[in-house]
Structure 1
Amino acid sequence: MHPPPTPAPPAPTAPHAPRSWRSRRPGPGRTAALLTVAAGILTALVVVRWGPLIAFDQAVADGLHRRAVAGPELTQANRLLSDWAWDPWTMRLLTAVAVVMVWLRGERLLAAWVAGSSALGAAVSQGLKWAVGRERPQWPDPVDSAHFAAYPSGHAMTATVTCGLLLWLTWRQGVGAGLRRAAVAVAVVSVAGVGITRLWLGVHWSSDVLGGWLLGGALVAFSIALFRRVTLSRKP
């Protein structure tokens, strides 16, 4: 009898290709959940007036206000940026222009979705201001003034919602890589810059601005995730 043949050794398996950085990024649904949790925690700390947060807010406000009073030229530049370039109505006008352009391209659902998301952001901002009712910083020598409640910063939240939605549109419309990079740079400068101007002018606490950024980012991520689900469900 012949001995049984020796089984061939198993073929070496190819090593798994490492996942790219893009594949490891959280999707819009998870991003929305994380940002919502962070915003909820911050809002709770503001409502209960958590001591370390209040002390940090006051220290930042005091330091920036001294510099704002001592530098009227820089303060005037911050006022122009805050009241004109990055004003919420300027941001909403940019959104309206983008909505009209997308509508004219025939993407009616997308245009209506962006308009509705922008309106929802304004409603959430005003509703939270009313619900939280936080006082704005008070100064004996103010360099600017603002009305209604402080938390969250409407400027910071509106800029975040607007820039987030416009960046999403540039991606959906297939804008070239160079223009996308430029749009991202402008968005980052605008979102960060408007928050800094509100702090410099002494009309917001630092946690107001952070809350506006977190809530605005959560709303944009939630809007994108829900739009993807709606469009997938409409496909035959």
Structure 2
Amino acid sequence: MTTRTTRTALRRLGARRRRADRRFGARLLAAAAVAAVSAVAFGLLLTLVEGEWRPLRRVDVGAARHLHEVAVRHPAWTGVLHLLSDRVWDPVTLRAAVAVLTGWLLHRRAWRLAAWAAATAVAGGLVGVLVKAVVERARPALHDPVAHAPGYSFPSGHAMTATTSFAVLLLVLLPVIPRALRTACWCVAVVSVLGVGFTRVALGVHWFSDVLGGWLLGLAVVALTTWAFEAWRAEAGRQRAPVAEGLEPELTEPAPER
């Protein structure tokens, strides 16, 4: 009877492991697919931008002119845009938040997660700068501008930094966020990422396609680093978990004794 019970328990354990492996494989595949789709979409967009595809150019110019007219006629609205773009969602602010988060993870000795957060933020920044230098796209030149920005235009550094930063913050902190608040946190992150892009176009310092390129490139970077982290976690024999639980569900456990 004992032998039969043991065999049954082993079969159940094996079945659970196989299900966990399938879920883990699906997550890795999904991350790779997101990275591939984002990279391909970014490559296509870059081709259209470099080739000055007329339909895309019309969208860029139309959005820039319309939103600029609104900004010129409504100084108070423009002030709000500046506050959001240059203070709340500024890349320096978001990178500082990721840096603080990385420091907290190091304090908790979550070494791998800290490395992932730092690598994602740094990779996003470097890739963005490199692509800007290669493409060398000029920023919008509007009559009576309400804002100025240095450097090249494509892709939007604000949009890319927002995408990578909010992804890092969410994927790290989800385990410690109460379940009742997780949907609200996702909504704040999505609205913030979209809002960053809107402010950059509305202030006349980026074309719409710049912002779209920043979103796509940021998403590709996050997907690639997440895929690498998941593979790393599997090799270390750590428990698999759904994305809704964050990258490291063990973060809710007490920090190791020093």
Offset of residue 186 of structure 1: 1.4
Aligned residues: 213
Q: Which residue of 1 aligns with 2:122?
A: 119
Quote the offset at 1:233 in angstroms. 2.1
| Of 53-62 and 179-188, the range deviating more from structure 2 | 179-188
The aligned counterpart of 2:38 is 35
Q: CA deviation at 1:192?
A: 0.8
Closer, same or farther in 2 for the Cα pair 1:148/1:94, shift >3 Å?
Answer: same
Cα separation, 1, equivalents of 2:221 and 2:171: 13
Gaps of at least 5 residues in structure 1 are 1-22
Cα distance in 1, alignment partners of residues 36 and 180 from structure 2: 31
Instruction: Write 1 or 2 for the structure with the bigger share of helix.
Output: 2
**Matches of 1:162 and 1:105, distance apart in 2:** 20
SS in 1 for 2:151: coil
Q: Is the 8 A contact 1:122 1:158 kept in 2?
A: yes
- Runs of 4+ residues deviating >3 angstroms: none
Q: Normalising by structure 1, report the TM-score.
A: 0.86
Write the letter of the residue equivalent to 2:194.
A
Contact 1:170 1:180 (8 Å CA) reproduced: no
The equivalent of 2:5 in structure 1 is none
CA displacement, residues 203-227 of structure 1 (integer Å, 9 cap, x when unaligned): 0000000111111111111111111
Q: 1: CA distance between counterparts of 2:182 and 2:224?
A: 21
In structure 1, what is the Cα distance between the partners aligned to 2:181 and 2:128?
30
Once the two structures are superposed, residues 81-113 of structure 1 have per-residue CA deviations (whole angstroms, 9 ceiling, x without a partner) of: 100000000000110111111111111111012
1:178 is displaced (CA, Å) by: 2.0
Give the counterpart of 1:149 among 149, 152, 172. Answer: 152
Superposed, 1:52-201 pairs within 5 Å as 52-171=55-174, 173-201=175-203
Counterpart of 2:236? Answer: 234
Residue number in structure 2 paired with 1:3: none
Query: Greater shift after overlay, 126-135 or 181-190?
Result: 181-190
Give 1:220's aligned residue. 222
For structure 2, list consecutive stretches of 5 or more residues without a partner in the other structure.
Answer: 1-25, 239-258
Alignment-mate amino acid for residue 109 of structure 2: G
1:174 to partner: Cα distance: 4.6
Counterpart CA distance in 2 for 1:233 and 1:45 is: 40
Between the aligned partners of 1:140 and 1:38, the Cα distance in structure 2 is 32
Are 2:178 and 1:205 equivalent residues in the alignment?
no
Distance 1:168 1:43 in 2: 28
Identity %: 43
Distance in 2 (CA, whole Å) between partners of 1:226 and 1:74 is 42
SS at 1:181's partner residue?
Answer: helix
Q: Distance in 2 between matches of 1:175 and 1:85?
A: 22
TM-score (norm 2): 0.79
Secondary structure (helix, strand or coil) at the match of 1:27 reads: helix
Partner Cα separation in structure 2 for residue 51 and residue 41 of structure 1: 14
| CA RMSD of superposed structures (Å) | 1.8
1:18-54 deviation digits (Å, cap 9, x = unpaired): xxxxx89x72111111111111111111111111111
Distance 1:187 1:95 in 2: 14
